[in-house]
Amino acid sequence: MITLKRKTGDEGEDKAAEFLKAKGYKILARNYASKYGEIDIIARLKNAIVFVEVKTRASMSYGGGVAAVNVSKQNKITKTAITYIKENKPKFDSITFDIITITDGKIEHIQNAFAIEGYTI
């Protein structure tokens, strides 16, 4: 059984993927999982690989989506991104970690929301 929370999240990820495609991104993977966690969307823009965390909220009542991407979540995303790169060996010049928040249907794209620090690829 799909929960309302999961359904809302899936719909948000679909909207985010369409938003990115409209901006010229090529979607490489969705819901990529490793033993460290999951990345909602992996995309390419020119020669950059973009790892995107999507947070969908019905309202700001419980805080915005960006606040949910804390240091612990960032570390999980980073380790999962490294796993993706090692497994798939994509060619790239740069890597970015973006967050897309969808609140009350409004999309906000925060590019370069955080960076890899202390990791080697």
Q: What is the pLDDT of residues 7-29, one digit of tens each?
A: 767 788 999 999 999 999 999 99
* 3-class DSSP assignment, residue 68: helix
Q: Is 70 exceeded by the pLDDT of residue 73?
A: yes
The domain segmentation of the chain, as residue ranges, is 4-114
**pTM across the whole model:** 0.88
| CA–CA dist 93, 61 (Å, integer) | 39
Q: Which secondary structure element, helix H or strand E, spans residue 109, and what is its range?
A: strand 106-114
Q: Which two tokens stand for residue 108?
A: 């906000």
Contacts 24+ apart (CB under 8 A), 84-89: 84/29, 84/32, 84/34, 84/39, 84/42, 84/51, 85/49, 85/121, 86/121, 88/28
- Please tell me the predicted confidence (pLDDT) of residue 25: 98
Q: What is the pLDDT of residues 23-65, one digit of tens each?
A: 999 999 999 999 999 999 999 999 999 999 999 876 555 556 6
Q: What is the pLDDT of residues 91-112, one digit of tens each?
A: 999 999 999 999 888 999 999 9
| CA–CA dist 32, 87 (Å, integer) | 12
User: Residues 4, 25, 42, CA angle at the centre, nearest 5°?
Assistant: 55
Q: Is 80 exceeded by the pLDDT of residue 68?
A: no
- Please tell me the predicted confidence (pLDDT) of residue 1: 64
Is the domain covering 4-114 a CATH 3.40.640.10 domain?
Answer: no
